[in-house]
Amino acid sequence: MGNFESAAKNLSRSISLGEGDGVTYVALGYCHYMRQRFMSAENAYRMGTLLSPDSKYAQNGLVNCLIETSRFPEALALLDELLATQPEDVICHRARVHALQGLGKEREAAVAMETLKRMGHLKTQDLLNLGDLYHNLNLYELSLQNYQLAIEKKERISLHRYVRAASILMNRASYEDCFQYLEKIQQILGSNFTPEDERKVLLLKAEVLQATGQTKESTAILRKIVEMHPLEGKALIMLGRHAWQDKDYVLASLHFERASKIDEFEAPALIEHGRMMVGIRNYEKAVRLLERAEDIDPQPRISRFLESIRNLLLTARVRL
The answer on 238 and 218 residing in a single domain is no
* pLDDT tens sequence across 99-135: 999 999 999 999 999 999 999 898 888 998 898 898 8
Cα–Cα distance list, 166 to 5, 56, 64, 148 (Å): 44, 39, 32, 10
In a domain, 22, yes or no: no
Structural domain including 192 reads: 123-222
In a domain, 289, yes or no: yes
Instruction: Please state, as a whole number, how many other Cβ atoms lie within 10 Å of the Cβ of residue 175.
Output: 18
CA 149 – CA 120 distance, rounded (Å):
13
**Average pLDDT estimate for 293-312:** 89
Burial, 264: exposed, middle or buried (Cβ in 10 Å; 0-12, 13-18, 19+)? exposed
In a domain, 47, yes or no: no
Pick the closest to residue 146 from 130, 125, 123 (CA basis): 130
Domain boundary, last residue among 222, 245, 272: 222
Packed helices 300-319 and 283-296: angle between N→C axes, nearest 10 degrees = 160
Domain count, the chain: 2
The answer on 258 and 217 residing in a single domain is no
Concatenating the DSSP letter of every residue in 264-318 gives GGHHHHHHHHHHHHHHTT-HHHHHHHHHHHHHHS--HHHHHHHHHHHHHHHHHHH
More confident residue, 153 or 288: 288
226, 232 contact by CB (below 8 A): yes
Total residues belonging to the chain: 320
In the DSSP assignment, the letter for residue 262 is S
Q: Is the pLDDT of residue 318 over 60?
A: no
Q: 232: Cβ–Cβ under 8 A, 6 or more apart, which residues? A: 199, 203, 225, 226
Pick the closest to residue 109 from 99, 117, 119, 118 (CA basis): 99
* pLDDT tens sequence across 264-273: 999 999 999 9
The pTM assigned to this predicted structure is 0.66
* pLDDT tens sequence across 158-211: 777 778 788 888 887 888 888 888 888 888 777 677 888 888 889 988 988 888
206, 221 contact by CB (below 8 A): yes
The CATH number that applies at residue 237 is: 1.25.40.10
Domain boundary, last residue among 169, 193, 222: 222
In degrees and rounded to multiples of 5, residue 213 shows phi and psi of: 80, 10
Q: 300: Cβ–Cβ under 8 A, 6 or more apart, which residues? A: none
Per-residue pLDDT, 161:
77
The confidence band for 53, taking pLDDT boundaries of 50, 70 and 90, is confident
Packed helices 266-279 and 300-319: angle between N→C axes, nearest 10 degrees = 30
The answer on 183 and 129 residing in a single domain is yes
The confidence band for 156, taking pLDDT boundaries of 50, 70 and 90, is low
CA 306 – CA 289 distance, rounded (Å):
10
CA 114 – CA 137 distance, rounded (Å):
15
In a domain, 15, yes or no: no
The answer on 216 and 171 residing in a single domain is yes
